[in-house]
Structure 1
Amino acid sequence: MKLRSKKGLWSLAVAAIMLATTACGGNPETGAGDKGGSSSSGQKKVVFWHAMGGSNTKVVDQLVADFNASQDKIKVEAIFQGTYDDLLSKLKASMGSKDGPSLVQMYEIGSRFMIDSKTITPMQKFIDEDKFDLTQLEPNITGYYTLNGKLNSMPFNTSNPILYYNKDLFKAAGLDPEKPPKTFEEVQKAADAITKTGKATGANFAIYGWFMEQFFANQGAEYVNNGNGRTSMATESTVNSEAGIKTLTWWKEMIDTKAANNLGRKTDDSKKAFSAGQVGMILESTASLKGLVDNAEGKFQVGTGFLPKPANAKEGGVVVGGASLWIMNDKPNDEQKAAWEFIKFLTSPKEQAYWHINTGYFPITKKAYDEQSVKDNLKKFPQFQTAIDQLHQTKLNTATQGAVMGVFPEARQIVEGAIEEVLNNKKSPKDALDAAAKEITSKIQQYNKTVKQ
């Protein structure tokens, strides 16, 4: 499931890239001061920092335990470091010291920073040395983390947004519960019909920058210039392009006509309203599917559909969200290779099947879908087939690979502010997005000036 970044977190990103800072002291609970190297038993030790909280912590711990039990040369120690933002802050503080991890999980919008920090060894190095077959992995997932033909990190927890809808409310509104709306226009029509029944509000979309990014990709539109920051570093935001204005105009019309309501930025509030039968449709991560289906049990049937787009939009698709694994280059070569061995273990079909079933994230390995446990899980949750089909039908290009910029967390917050201004009748879609594009562009250019090429 996607986690949000706090506004202003990256205001110190420049300093983190250009200056080596001393490590934070840490404490026994976070393990921020733990080191890699060799354990007392002579095994090579790999310290793995991650941000998988809640029940997902147990899943990570089990994968680590399984790897450690599978061989006696390497010992991985997984340390939960809090939210993605907490982890990033601790990683920045550890740069230039010996107190950082061997392997770190970083959210996808932190990719540009990780590359520019010059603190990582590209995953491609180990792939080439080991002749690792990349074709066994999902290309639409590895595509996000590939820049200039080089895979920089290994995808770990991966999700997409899909449309969730209440089949019972569809029936009550005279809609076909087996035909989810595919376009903006169809969503608006269905939402309006549900609202008019008086049983619920037609739709709710949390004010989440990730959704706007996905709407761009689904229209085949780039979020920043220079090939979405992939042919060369982005220098300008294009959030005020036709794709953005069209999306926000539609969103505003939904609110104005009562076809949808505004519950703010928290996706949890949107999910709660859906589970309570108060709204007929929401957008949410594929990783939320099991929870939403379980919460609706005995109350209503949950349907799923592709992320909608305007009628006659360019061919597009969805961008992967989530996080990936990065190997830090300040560790000895044998420690980096040990981290790579753990990563290879994680990509095996069996481990990917376990990860998928217990977290809801996509398997990154194609053959994981051949595992009986995955087949059984799909029978139990057939709604996930929508997510699989949407991922596989997405054609990989610079739009669907996703944007790359060093100030992405801040940009996401700025866009969310623009959406709020429009939905609260403070600005028109064009004025709000023009202002957002200007502010994001300024931050991109400030960031770029500090990066050593």
Structure 2
Amino acid sequence: MRKKKISWLVVAAMLMGLLSACSGNNESGGQPAATSGSGDSGGGQEKVTIEFWHSLGGKNGEYMDALIKRFNDSHENINVVGTFQGGYDETVTKLQQAISAKTAPDISMVERAYVQLFADSEVLEDLTPYMDGSGMSADDFTQGLLGHSFFNDQLVSLPLNRSTPILHVNKTMLTEAGLEVPTTWEEMKTAANALVVKEGDEFKRYGLSMPYDTWYPIALISQAQGTFFNDDNTSIGFMDNGVGEKVFGYLKDLQSTGALYYPPAQDSGNIVNQMFLEGKIGMMFQSTGTIGRLLESVEFEYVTAFLPKEAVFANPTGGANVAMLSGSGHKEEAWEFIRYMMEEPDGAQQFILDSGYLPFTTKMVESEPMKELWAKEPNRKVAYDQLEYAIDTNKDVSWPEVMHEFFSAIEAIMYDSSDIKATLDTFRKEAERILAE
């Protein structure tokens, strides 16, 4: 079953490419022998090259390149080569192919929902001995972000560029309309409709938008106290209680009045971000990872807020973890790079300060630079505070294949206005077939 699902994933990821060629060491061996501090890895040693694959392009890719340069400059015997492999799905596809060809990198970023697939295939290194050797513990990490780190009694990945969806708001626009930042679905519906500007048959401004993704419907499902999978992961959990119809009915009601602009699937994140910056939408559901870029460009009062609640506040987490491939021939050096990112102020902490992703260790959260940034730019702290309500209900090794079917349902409803109940019923049947395999 594992081989079947993973080979399917290669095909599906190539077909989807929805979430926005290198070779590495494939020798076996290498013992856990962690380095406890920054600096070189020992005088007189031959320089070791570590291959690191990631999925960060644009500005965030520049921040990652800077992190890698800081590491290389401080480690004379280790050279990390970071390579952008495309979006999350594309990286997964290339990683699968590289593992089969025995040309996998030493370290890779893996979108958090895919970690279980690789863990079940036993191609990820157990990081527990390395953590122990470095005096590190799982207790050092933000607990809301460790849900995709432990599988089969092993610690196979650690948080890196982690995020949650939050509400991004053009506060200037809301203030001009005499509105407050919404905290509930009903308030959001009122505000989104009030912001609509229509001239003839053309909408000049929409109230709300969100990228084409499963992330945002899952957030809404959780806020309505639904779950994606049922308790034993044999079916879809949000169907029997009517939550699915409520969520998509809400979205379609907003869409019908221009209160919601639902973007095309291709490049939807960039489209929504640009519309927000241009004042063509007043609010958007979007990742916390966009905060840094938006702050550099906005020309209005910009604030962030918790995703509005229906019955409860709730939000999924997203982004990627970092994992060491078990086939790496330089595990000690690979771990030193991971440790540097986790522990050193110039590692992922600086990357997070630059980008707006979530701080994932207590040390980062309590650091003076983070406290100063949050005091100066409170928008960045909202996502961290919202972790109190973080919930991931789509955890299953079959999730990538089920996700493909969920995208089909979203497309049918949001683009083609297909009947909501009939579409979700079809989706549930397909999901049950996949889960039963």
Q: TM-score interval w.r.t. the shorter chain? A: 0.7 to 0.9
Q: Give 1:193's aligned residue.
A: 194
Q: Give 2:341's aligned residue.
A: 346
Query: Match of 2:189, as an amino acid?
Result: Q
359, 362, 365: which one aligns with 1:363: 359
Q: Give 1:451's aligned residue.
A: none
Say whether the 8 Å CA contact 1:378–1:385 is kept in structure 2: yes
Say whether the 8 Å CA contact 1:209–1:413 is kept in structure 2: no
Query: Match of 1:343, as an amino acid?
Result: I
Query: Match of 2:431, as an amino acid?
Result: I
User: 1:168: how far off?
Assistant: 1.9
101, 123, 126: which one aligns with 1:122: 126
**Take 2:288 and 2:431, find their aligned partners in 1: how far apart are those partners?**
28
Q: Give 1:230's aligned residue.
A: none
Which secondary structure does the structure 2 equivalent of 1:249 belong to? helix
TM-score w.r.t. the length of structure 2 is 0.82
Check 1:327–1:82 CA distance in 2 against 1; reply closer, same or farther (3 A cut). same
**Take 1:11 and 1:215, find their aligned partners in 2: how far apart are those partners?**
33
**Count of aligned residue pairs for this structure pair:** 405
Check 1:104–1:16 CA distance in 2 against 1; reply closer, same or farther (3 A cut). farther
Check 1:206–1:92 CA distance in 2 against 1; reply closer, same or farther (3 A cut). closer
Per-residue CA deviations over 1:67-117 (Å, capped at 9, x if unaligned) read 334344544332332332332222222224442112111111212211122
**Take 1:408 and 1:276, find their aligned partners in 2: how far apart are those partners?**
36
> Where do residues 129-148 of structure 1 align in structure 2 (5 Å cutoff)?
130-147=134-151
167, 171, 183: which one aligns with 1:167: 171
Query: Match of 1:387, as an amino acid?
Result: A
Which secondary structure does the structure 2 equivalent of 1:282 belong to? strand
272, 289, 292: which one aligns with 2:291: 289
**Take 2:211 and 2:104, find their aligned partners in 1: how far apart are those partners?**
35
Check 1:69–1:205 CA distance in 2 against 1; reply closer, same or farther (3 A cut). closer
Say whether the 8 Å CA contact 1:349–1:371 is kept in structure 2: no
Structural RMSD (CA): 3.1
User: 1:347: how far off?
Assistant: 0.9
The answer to whether the aligner puts 1:378 opposite 2:379 as a matched pair is: no
Say whether the 8 Å CA contact 1:36–1:45 is kept in structure 2: no
Say whether the 8 Å CA contact 1:220–1:316 is kept in structure 2: no
**Take 1:48 and 1:290, find their aligned partners in 2: how far apart are those partners?**
24
Check 1:110–1:253 CA distance in 2 against 1; reply closer, same or farther (3 A cut). same
> Where do residues 47-58 of structure 1 align in structure 2 (5 Å cutoff)?
47-58=51-62
Q: 80-89 or 163-172, which moves further after superposition?
A: 80-89
Say whether the 8 Å CA contact 1:108–1:322 is kept in structure 2: yes
Say whether the 8 Å CA contact 2:409–2:423 is kept in structure 1: yes
Check 1:74–1:64 CA distance in 2 against 1; reply closer, same or farther (3 A cut). same
**Take 1:294 and 1:55, find their aligned partners in 2: how far apart are those partners?**
11
Check 1:78–1:205 CA distance in 2 against 1; reply closer, same or farther (3 A cut). closer
Say whether the 8 Å CA contact 2:245–2:421 is kept in structure 1: yes
Check 1:118–1:213 CA distance in 2 against 1; reply closer, same or farther (3 A cut). same
> Where do residues 272-351 of structure 1 align in structure 2 (5 Å cutoff)?
272-297=274-299, 300-310=300-310, 313=311, 315=312, 317-332=314-329, 335-348=330-343, 350=345, 351=347
Q: Which runs of 5+ in 1 are unaligned?
A: 1-9, 19-29, 228-233, 447-453
Say whether the 8 Å CA contact 2:236–2:432 is kept in structure 1: yes
**Take 1:433 and 1:320, find their aligned partners in 2: how far apart are those partners?**
23
370, 381, 388: which one aligns with 2:384: 388
Query: Match of 1:67, as an amino acid?
Result: F
The answer to whether the aligner puts 1:429 opposite 2:426 as a matched pair is: no
**Take 1:291 and 1:389, find their aligned partners in 2: how far apart are those partners?**
20
Per-residue CA deviations over 1:330-362 (Å, capped at 9, x if unaligned) read 234xx2233222211111251233111222211
Q: Give 2:432's aligned residue.
A: 441
Say whether the 8 Å CA contact 1:349–1:367 is kept in structure 2: no
**Take 1:11 and 1:174, find their aligned partners in 2: how far apart are those partners?**
57
**Take 2:211 and 2:7, find their aligned partners in 1: how far apart are those partners?**
33
Which secondary structure does the structure 1 equivalent of 2:284 belong to? strand
Check 1:418–1:65 CA distance in 2 against 1; reply closer, same or farther (3 A cut). same
Check 1:60–1:168 CA distance in 2 against 1; reply closer, same or farther (3 A cut). closer
Which secondary structure does the structure 2 equivalent of 1:100 belong to? coil
Which secondary structure does the structure 2 equivalent of 1:207 belong to? coil
Q: Give 1:7's aligned residue.
A: none
Which secondary structure does the structure 1 equivalent of 2:264 belong to? coil
**Take 1:409 and 1:14, find their aligned partners in 2: how far apart are those partners?**
9
Q: Give 2:93's aligned residue.
A: 89
Say whether the 8 Å CA contact 2:148–2:157 is kept in structure 1: no
Query: Match of 1:236, as an amino acid?
Result: S
Per-residue CA deviations over 1:145-203 (Å, capped at 9, x if unaligned) read 33466432111111110111211221222213xxx211111110111222279873222
Say whether the 8 Å CA contact 1:352–1:364 is kept in structure 2: no
**Take 1:15 and 1:413, find their aligned partners in 2: how far apart are those partners?**
14
Say whether the 8 Å CA contact 2:231–2:237 is kept in structure 1: no
**Fraction of identical pairs, as percent:** 26
**Take 1:367 and 1:140, find their aligned partners in 2: how far apart are those partners?**
15
**Take 1:254 and 1:17, find their aligned partners in 2: how far apart are those partners?**
34
Q: Give 1:252's aligned residue.
A: 252
144, 153, 158: which one aligns with 1:154: 158
Say whether the 8 Å CA contact 2:158–2:321 is kept in structure 1: yes
The answer to whether the aligner puts 1:236 opposite 2:235 as a matched pair is: yes
**Take 2:218 and 2:367, find their aligned partners in 1: how far apart are those partners?**
33
Say whether the 8 Å CA contact 2:22–2:105 is kept in structure 1: no
**Take 2:212 and 2:3, find their aligned partners in 1: how far apart are those partners?**
22
Q: Give 2:16's aligned residue.
A: none
**Take 1:412 and 1:73, find their aligned partners in 2: how far apart are those partners?**
42
